Amino acid sequence: MMKFFYAPNTCSIGIHVMLEEIGAPYESIKVDFLAKEQFSERFRSVNPKGKVPTLVRDDGSVLTEYQAMAFWLGRAFPEAGLLAEDLEAQTRALELLDFMVATVHMRGFTFVLVPKKFTPTEAAQQELTAHGREVIAAGFDRLAGILGEKEWLMGGYSIADPTLFYLTAWARLKDVPMPDALAAFHDRMLARPAVQRALKMVG
């Protein structure tokens, strides 16, 4: 059985949703960031990077980066329909994931969620937060344009949608404005049984 290491209010929820959509058996294991369990010998023995999400596959091998996990889940469980079969569509899905994770998440939300990680000065934290919000706003506008009138980013539901969901969930958590199209997308995601199950599991 796969083992999935996660922490609440992190990008882990995106992979959690994918696991629920796939329906394969897995064990969900919480890493308590408040107790600094990400630095514990127990967790570092699984993932020396000390990061979540972390996925231990049935054969004991470990995947540690969001995009790698999402791509593997889509390819390993094709019956779930989370990743198209043709190369161009797969490439475009990875392109979209990288934009959401590397730009909107890492260059945007990171500065909104944890500005104290980068500087102890309150004024500098406020500047970082403002910069992060600008990056998010530009990223959300781009994503809303990609979504357009569609229900899902790639047309059909895919690994891109749980990824966008963790960003819109953070937006709701931190009162970050969203275009109407993304707010409607978030509500559609909340209506999916897999999302409801994943949210219930993380508490």
- DSSP letter string, 164-202: HHHHHHHHHHTT----HHHHHHHHHHHTSHHHHHHHHHH
Are residues 106 and 188 both part of a single domain?
A: yes
pLDDT tens sequence across 20-29: 999 999 999 9
pLDDT tens sequence across 169-202: 999 999 999 999 999 999 999 999 999 999 998 8
pLDDT band of 95, cuts 50, 70, 90: very high
Tell me the C-alpha distance between 164 and 181, whole Å: 12
For residue 1, the model assigns a pLDDT of 95
Are residues 102 and 139 both part of a single domain?
A: yes
pLDDT band of 56, cuts 50, 70, 90: very high
pLDDT tens sequence across 6-20: 999 999 999 999 999
Query: Averaged over 117-129, what is the pLDDT?
Result: 96
pLDDT band of 203, cuts 50, 70, 90: low
DSSP assignment letter at 108: I
Coil, strand, or helix at residue 35?
coil
Tell me the C-alpha distance between 5 and 34, whole Å: 15
Are residues 110 and 187 both part of a single domain?
A: yes
For residue 151, the model assigns a pLDDT of 98
Contact partners, residue 86, CB within 8 Å, separation at least 6? none
Are residues 60 and 117 both part of a single domain?
A: no
For residue 202, the model assigns a pLDDT of 86
DSSP assignment letter at 194: H
Are residues 182 and 113 both part of a single domain?
A: yes
Query: Is 13:198 a contact under the CB 8 Å cutoff?
Result: yes
Are residues 95 and 156 both part of a single domain?
A: yes
Query: Averaged over 121-149, what is the pLDDT?
Result: 97
- CATH code where residue 183 lies: 1.20.1050.10
Count up the domains in the chain and report the number: 2
Query: Averaged over 148-172, what is the pLDDT?
Result: 98
Tell me the C-alpha distance between 187 and 24, whole Å: 25
Give which of 68, 7, 82 is closest to 39, Cα–Cα: 7
pLDDT tens sequence across 105-122: 999 999 999 999 999 999
Task: Name the residue range of residue 16's domain.
Answer: 2-81+198-202
